[in-house]
A = this chain, B = another copy of it.
Amino acid sequence: MDFRSDNVSSVSPEILNDLVTANQGTSTSYAEDDLTRAVTRKLQDVFEHPVRFFPVLTGTASNALALSILTPPYGGIFCSDEAHIYYDECAAPEFFTGGAKLIGLPSLNGRISAAGAEKAIAKGISSGIHHAKPSTVSITQATELGTVYSPDEVRAIASIAQQFGMHLHMDGARFANAVASLNVSPADLTWRAGVDVLCLGATKNGALSAEGVVIFNKDIGDDLGYRVKRSGHLASKSRFISSQWLAYLTDNLWLKNATWANAMAQRLSAGVAALPMAKIVFPTEANEVFVSVGDEILEGLKRRGVRFSEWPADEGTVLRFVTSFNTPQADVDACVAAFVATGCVPV
C-alpha cells in the first residue's frame, strides 16, 4: 500500500512496450527524429490548436523553462504560495529565468483567485522599476492540494493577466487528472480559457520520463530550443522520449490512466470521510487525498504498512495519499480498513 506519490509507480505497459519497439536501427538525435515530430501532430489533435512542443525530461525543467520564456530576469511571477514552483523546486524558476521573483499569493484549497492576483499585481506595478515587473501568472492544474480550476476560473485569471499585459502559465504535471475530473476538452481548459503555455506531464501518470512544454501562443517561445539545449534538457536519443509520448496519447491512454487514479482517490476519500476520527482537508477532485489525523492513527497506519507523505499541521498531522494509474483497488480498500482498525470506527 504505497500512496507516497504517483511517481513511486512503475511505467504503463503500453508505454514501455512502445519504448522497446523504438529500439531499432539508427535515428536522428536531438529531437529532430520522426517520432518527435509525430508527437507534435498528436498534441495538435488533442488540443485542437496549432502548438509548438518541446519535450523535456522532468517537470521541474518543464516549468522552469516555460517560465523563462514568459518572464524576463527582472520580472515577477505570481502564483499560489502552495505552488510546486514556489516551494518545491529548489528555486529552479529563479535559476532558469535568471533571477525573476516569485510572489506567493494566498490560496483557498490550493486555488488562487482572480481578485487576489489583481490586487498583488496592481501593487507591484505601482512601484515601477523598484519592484520586479509583473510578467506572469502561474496556476497548477490539478492543484498541489488535489483540487481543480474550472474553465471559468481559469478564464477569470487569464483575463487579469491580459489586462496587465502579462501571460498565463499552467503547470500541468497532473493535467490529465484535471481533464478527467472536469470532463471538459483539453482546449477548454487551456488556450480557449487564455492559457499561453502549458507544462504537460506524463511521468506521474504512467510514463517513464516524459514532460514537455506546449506553447499555444504563437508569439512566444521562438527561441525556446536554445534554452532547452543550454539547460541540458535536449535528450540526444530523443526517440525514446517521444515514443513514450506517442503511446501516452494513443487510444486515450492518458485519460484512461488518469480516470483510474481519480476513481481510486474518490474511493479512498469516501472511505475515510465516513470515519469519525479522520478529516478530509481539501475536496478530493483529482488523485490526491489529504487527511488530518491524530498521532494514534498516524502510528497505526504505519504499523499496518500504509505508506503516505506527512507534514506537521497546527493540530495533528496532515497525511497525503496519492493514487496512480495502477493503484490496486484492493490497496485502497486495505488502506481504509487500516484506518478503521486504528480506531476510526465508522459511525
With an 8 A cutoff between CB atoms, is A100 at the interface? yes
B236 touches A130 (CB 8 A): no
With an 8 A cutoff between CB atoms, is A300 at the interface? no
Instruction: List, in ascending order, chain B residues with CB within 8 A of A76's CB.
Output: 91
A22-30, A35-43, A142-150, A156-164 - interface stretch:
A22-30
Q: A226-B74, A229-B60 given as contacts; is B236 within 8 A of A127 (CB)?
A: no
Shortest distance between the CB of A164 and any CB in chain B (Å) = 15
B223 touches A72 (CB 8 A): yes
With an 8 A cutoff between CB atoms, is A106 at the interface? no
A20 touches B23 (CB 8 A): no
B99 touches A102 (CB 8 A): no
B5 touches A24 (CB 8 A): no
Interchain CA distance A16-B21 in the complex, whole Å:
11
Q: Pick the contact of A91 from B5, B16, B26, B99 — CB < 8 Å? A: B99
Instruction: List, in ascending order, chain B residues with CB within 8 A of A25's CB.
Output: 2, 10
B232 touches A233 (CB 8 A): yes
The 8 closest A-B pairs by CB, nearest first: A61-B232, A98-B98, A7-B236, A90-B230, A74-B226, A94-B99, A60-B232, A95-B99
With an 8 A cutoff between CB atoms, is A194 at the interface? no
B88 touches A226 (CB 8 A): no
B237 touches A203 (CB 8 A): yes
Shortest distance between the CB of A329 and any CB in chain B (Å) = 16
Q: A98-B73, A209-B57, A232-B231 given as contacts; is B88 within 8 A of A130 (CB)?
A: yes
Q: Quick one: CB contact mask for A110-153 with B, threshold 8 Å, 1 for yes?
A: 00000000000000001101111100000000000000000000
Instruction: List, in ascending order, chain B residues with CB within 8 A of A95's CB.
Output: 73-74, 98-99, 230-231
Interchain CA distance A11-B146 in the complex, whole Å:
38
With an 8 A cutoff between CB atoms, is A174 at the interface? no
B230 touches A92 (CB 8 A): yes
With an 8 A cutoff between CB atoms, is A321 at the interface? no
Q: Pick the contact of A58 from B59, B88, B236 — CB < 8 Å? A: B236
B58 touches A232 (CB 8 A): yes
Instruction: List, in ascending order, chain B residues with CB within 8 A of A104's CB.
Output: 104
